[in-house]
Amino acid sequence: MSTDANLAQQQMKQKEFMQLLPLVSIIAGLPTSEHGKYVSPEQMEIRANTLKAAYKVARNLVIEISK
């Protein structure tokens, strides 16, 4: 039963992230890559950390607005 609750909570968080993704990408301000140009693993890590920080800002913004 506990794993079902954990699974449901995880799916809810994933859905929330996907709904916030357009706002997150705007807040992050990351440029799109050129076609055929790849980024290094270090650049991917930096971009991922930027998205994580932007997600926190977007989530807090939505919570603040809904008050």
HEC sequence for the chain? CHHHHHHHHHHHHHHHHHHHHHHHHHHHCCCCCCCCCCCCHHHHHHHHHHHHHHHHHHHHHHHHHCC
Per-residue pLDDT, 4? 87
Residue 2 pLDDT more than 80? Answer: no
pTM of the predicted model, to two decimals?
Answer: 0.80
Give tens-digit pLDDT for 18-62. Answer: 999 999 999 999 988 888 888 899 999 999 999 999 999 999 999
